Amino acid sequence: MTTRCGFVALIGEPNAGKSTLLNTMVGAKVSIVTHKVQTTRARIRGVALEGETQIVFVDTPGLFRPRRRLDRAMVAAAWGGAADADLVVLLVEAHRGLTPGVQAILDALGDRTMGRRVALAINKIDRVKAEVLLGLSEKLNAAFPFTETFMISAEKGYGVEGLRTWLARSLPEGPWLYPEDQIADLPMRMIAAEITREKLTLRLHQELPYQLTVETEHWDERKDGSARIDQMIYVARDGHKGILLGKGGETIKAVSQAARAELEEFLGRRIHLFLQVKVRPNWLEDAERYSEMGLEFKDGNTGGHEG
């Protein structure tokens, strides 16, 4: 029996549907999905099995114009994920078409992917008419020599099977890297922190876009099969703490309940979740926070996509 295994990088603009596609491919929620851009910070990997092939997905942050240190680290991680992968899939939103951001990615693709095969996946195809899709496909293929083009809806699952089959067939022969039952190589502590951060992002929308981070500080397994998880939410300012707690603590309570419910579903057991909020003014400039998110802490600009 010949097994195959390799890494696939999903790249694209923020909100192109990378996390949704990853979750559909893997069949479980391993990368947080929100309507807010820039929620995927670290290179979360999901593992999918297709026949005798193990596909390891590198879900990179969206590519955009970096303005702050965190932005630069995220863009560097996205291009780093593409350079390290066996195959690259560029996701483009059908209804947005060839935006300046997509054009900038296309301009950088050749140098950044260093001869790797790149597939194009036009996502959210249910939002446009067939002739628009065909025109967009022609335009994109004229701009870059894609190996294959797929028309998909990551959310509804259309066309995803064809993409997964092609990926499985195209990866190199070799032994599997992960046990069959393992869907993500992120430690559970980090997945738990990401789930809580997703709930905060959904709840707070505009008030605290990226000025917060969540860390799982303690994880205690209990004899009855449940687990106690203690998490710390770091915010940059005192005023943020009040927004996060809400009147009479109602916001943090709602977030805690939503995160606990999802953790229980994900882990298939009872979870006791305890959240605390701490003000750490300079966490966006703290090297240790970056390594915990799987990002590089760099000075200066990283070049890359200036879309």
Report the number of distinct structural domains present in the chain.
Answer: 2
Q: Does residue 281 belong to any structural domain of this protein?
A: yes
State pLDDT tens for residues 112-166: 666 788 999 999 999 999 999 999 999 999 999 999 999 999 999 999 999 999 9
Q: Strand 271-279's sheet: what is its strand order?
A: 212-221, 227-235, 271-279
Q: Does 197 have pLDDT greater than 50?
A: yes
By mean pLDDT, which of 81-90, 206-215, 268-277 is the weakest? 206-215
- For 262, residues 6+ apart whose C-beta sits below 8 A from its C-beta are 29, 195, 199
Q: Does residue 61 belong to any structural domain of this protein?
A: yes
What's the rounded Cα separation, in Å, for the pair 209 and 145? 36
What is the pLDDT, as a whole number, of residue 281? 75
- For 247, residues 6+ apart whose C-beta sits below 8 A from its C-beta are none
Tell me which residue has tokens 């905060």: 200
Q: Does 2 have pLDDT greater than 50?
A: yes
Confidence (pTM): 0.62
Report the candidate in 61, 65, 101 with the shortest Cα–Cα distance to residue 82. Answer: 61
State pLDDT tens for residues 29-86: 655 444 444 444 445 567 888 889 988 887 666 555 656 665 566 656 655 666 678 8
Residue 158: CB atoms within 10 Å: 16
Mean per-residue pLDDT, 223-250: 88
Mean per-residue pLDDT, 290-295: 59
What's the rounded Cα separation, in Å, for the pair 3 and 289? 37
What is the pLDDT, as a whole number, of residue 61? 61
Last residue of a domain, one of 144, 170, 196: 170
What is the pLDDT, as a whole number, of residue 276? 93
Q: Does residue 100 belong to any structural domain of this protein?
A: yes
Domain that holds residue 77: 4-170
Last residue of a domain, one of 140, 170, 200: 170
263 and 134, same structural domain?
A: no
What is the pLDDT, as a whole number, of residue 288? 63
Tokens (6 digits) for 285: 């400039």
Sequence-ordered alpha helix ranges (H) in 85-145: 100-113, 130-143
194 and 166, same structural domain?
A: no
What is the pLDDT, as a whole number, of residue 145? 93
